Amino acid sequence: MLGLGVEHKSLQHVVAALESECDALTGRIIETARNIPVRHIYRDNGFTLGDGGLWRLGCLDARPKPLAAAR
């Protein structure tokens, strides 16, 4: 299922469900050989890389983004 956009739609659903209830969402990608297909999921969905390898999305900015084109 990965690579078909399901992972992006799932993250967008979580963001939309939580955006009115939080100040920010954070996530982390721990790079392994098995997660290469989703390595850029946060970047592709509007998150910004911050200190300590944490990706952050301010909930006021959290609007579902169009699915990014395959890279």
Nearest 5°: phi and psi at 9? Answer: -65, -40
CB 48, CB 57: distance < 8 Å? yes
* Burial of residue 21, with CB atoms counted within 10 A of its CB: 0-12 exposed, 13-18 middle, 19 or more buried: exposed
Q: How confident is the model at residue 67 (pLDDT cuts 50, 70, 90)?
A: low
Cα angle value 21/23/4 (rounded, 5°): 75
**Predicted pLDDT of residue 50:** 92
**Predicted pLDDT of residue 65:** 54
**Predicted pLDDT of residue 56:** 92
Q: Does this model's pTM top 0.75? A: no
4-59 pLDDT per residue, tens: 788 889 999 988 888 778 888 899 988 898 888 788 899 999 999 999 989 999 87
Q: What pairs with residue 26 in β-bridges?
A: 56
